[in-house]
């Protein structure tokens, strides 16, 4: 049986990946999260709890889901080069991880990225330990999520709105990424390239734009706006002018694209994942309020952090080289979020 590892497996992307791997394979999945942001699997996993092997919680009738609440940096030390200590301690029997998905990171929304940049910079420590470990352990395949925040901010201003292409990040000719978050993601991409080239590890990097979905935390704008629309906020508050735009992409599309990319990219190359479309926050508010059946006045909150003005991607490289394109329209995806938030808010 193959064994996969998911770090940050209780966060937004991680838990969606854990569920998908469990439902689409017969493989064993070990997922790690310190629950600093993520929520305990009992709150989101359909598979039933079975037993504990020491600190590991085992889920699913076939006992293929193994959860460990721990700082991933500690786990990386315990795993060591060959996972022998880890296997002995937890009475497991795998030799090598097949796929490793590294979602453990300090992310937060705009408030954290701008408000506590040195805390976010701890991602550099997590990623450095991570790449060191994979250079030794050499799993079959590795997924490193970078971010659209790695792109130079001067290409994302009101005057200079461009569809960001993969080649807009050029290690020989660099622009400035978005705060410590963007710097750490950019460094992570660089480490991925080096690890693939010098240590022969298969690595795929992705730059998701604004991923959203039904079970995203309310600290993110899409579910937060949906909740306020469900409660019919009036006037409707928006951070900044609301004309700043992002490339919103549904989590199911993100996971689909990861699957295709990991089949085809092994040298640490980073790809965009987005719709290739700029949507501003006023448009999102309008859509959710339409679902809620009202049309409020918009109130701008100009003292709130808003980040760059326009961040969206060019999907030509991915379309051409991977033959992939997103399937879930903004309207359909946002409807799914609205319905999920409505159910949660009105039934609680």
Ligand X SMILES: NC(=O)c1ccc[n+]([C@@H]2O[C@H](COP(=O)([O-])OP(=O)(O)OC[C@H]3O[C@@H](n4cnc5c(N)ncnc54)[C@H](O)[C@@H]3O)[C@@H](O)[C@H]2O)c1
Edge to edge, what strands does the sheet with 310-313 contain? 163-164, 310-313, 245-246, 279-280
Q: Quickly tell me which residue has 């326009």 as its tokens.
A: 310
Token digits of residue 245: 């735009």
Distance between CA 12 and CA 218 in Å, rounded?
11
Considering beta carbons, is residue 38 or 268 the nearer one to ligand X?
38
Query: What are the angstrom distances between the C-alpha of 73 and each of 211, 224, 249, 325?
Result: 25, 31, 30, 35
Asked if 13 touches ligand X (CB under 6 A), the answer is yes
Considering beta carbons, is residue 217 or 237 the nearer one to ligand X?
217
Considering beta carbons, is residue 161 or 219 the nearer one to ligand X?
219
Kindly tell me which residue out of 5, 6, 10, 203 binds ligand X, with binding defined by CB under 6 A.
10
Q: What's the closest the beta carbon of residue 294 comes to ligand X, in angstroms?
A: 28
Q: What's the closest the beta carbon of residue 188 comes to ligand X, in angstroms?
A: 8
Site for ligand X in 225-284 (CB under 6 A): none
Length of the chain counted residue by residue: 348
Burial class of residue 224 (count of CB atoms within 10 Å of its CB; 0-12, 13-18, 19+): middle
Considering beta carbons, is residue 71 or 283 the nearer one to ligand X?
71
Kindly tell me which residue out of 5, 28, 30, 38 binds ligand X, with binding defined by CB under 6 A.
38
Instruction: Using the rule CB under 6 A, give the single segment among 33-41, 166-174, 234-242, 323-331 that binds ligand X.
Output: 33-41
Kindly tell me which residue out of 156, 195, 210, 310 binds ligand X, with binding defined by CB under 6 A.
210
Distance between CA 218 and CA 224 in Å, rounded?
5
Neighbouring-strand partners of residue 144 = 205
Q: What's the closest the beta carbon of residue 143 comes to ligand X, in angstroms?
A: 10
Please answer whether residues 68 and 75 qualify as being in contact, where contact means their C-beta atoms are separated by less than 8 angstroms: yes
Considering beta carbons, is residue 193 or 289 the nearer one to ligand X?
193
Q: What's the closest the beta carbon of residue 15 comes to ligand X, in angstroms?
A: 8
Distance between CA 326 and CA 134 in Å, rounded?
30
Considering beta carbons, is residue 104 or 328 the nearer one to ligand X?
104
Site for ligand X in 71-130 (CB under 6 A): 71-73, 103-107, 126
Asked if 334 touches ligand X (CB under 6 A), the answer is no
Kindly tell me which residue out of 4, 112, 137, 147 binds ligand X, with binding defined by CB under 6 A.
147
Interaction site with ligand X (CB under 6 A): 8, 10-14, 32-38, 71-73, 103-107, 126, 145, 147, 208, 210-211
């Amino acid at each position: 049986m193959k064994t996969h590892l998911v770090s940050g497996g209780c966060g937004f992307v991680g838990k969606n990946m854990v569920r998908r791997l469990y439902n689409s394979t017969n493989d064993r999945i070990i997922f790690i999260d310190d629950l600093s942001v993520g929520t305990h699997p009992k709150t989101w996993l359909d598979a039933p709890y079975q037993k504990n092997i020491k600190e590991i919680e085992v889920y699913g009738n076939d006992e293929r889901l193994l959860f460990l609440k721990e700082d991933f940096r500690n786990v990386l030390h315990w795993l060591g080069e060959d996972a022998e200590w880890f296997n002995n301690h937890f009475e497991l029997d795998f030799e090598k991880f097949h796929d490793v998905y590294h979602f453990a990171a300090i992310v937060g929304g705009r408030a954290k990225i701008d408000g506590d940049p040195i805390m976010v910079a701890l991602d550099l420590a997590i990623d450095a330990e991570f790449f060191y470990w994979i250079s030794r352990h050499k799993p079959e395949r590795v997924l490193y999520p970078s971010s659209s925040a790695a792109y130079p901010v001067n290409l994302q201003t009101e005057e200079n709105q461009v569809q960001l292409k993969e080649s807009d990040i050029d290690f020989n000719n660099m622009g400035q990424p978005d705060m410590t978050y963007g710097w750490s993601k950019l460094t992570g991409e660089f480490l991925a390239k080096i690890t693939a080239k010098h240590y022969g590890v298969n690595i795929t990097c992705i730059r998701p734009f604004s991923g959203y979905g039904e079970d995203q935390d309310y600290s993110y704008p899409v579910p937060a706006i949906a909740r306020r629309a469900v409660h019919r906020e009036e006037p409707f508050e928006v951070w900044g002018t609301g004309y700043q735009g992002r490339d919103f992409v549904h989590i199911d599309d993100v996971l689909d694209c990861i699957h295709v990319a990991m089949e085809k990219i092994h040298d640490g190359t980073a790809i965009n994942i987005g719709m290739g479309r700029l949507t501003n926050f006023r448009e999102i508010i309008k859509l959710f309020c339409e679902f809620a059946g009202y049309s409020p006045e918009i109130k701008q909150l100009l003292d709130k952090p808003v980040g760059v003005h326009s961040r969206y991607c060019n999907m030509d490289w991915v379309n051409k080289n991977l033959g992939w394109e997103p399937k879930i329209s903004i309207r359909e995806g946002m409807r799914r979020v609205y319905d999920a938030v409505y159910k949660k808010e009105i039934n609680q």
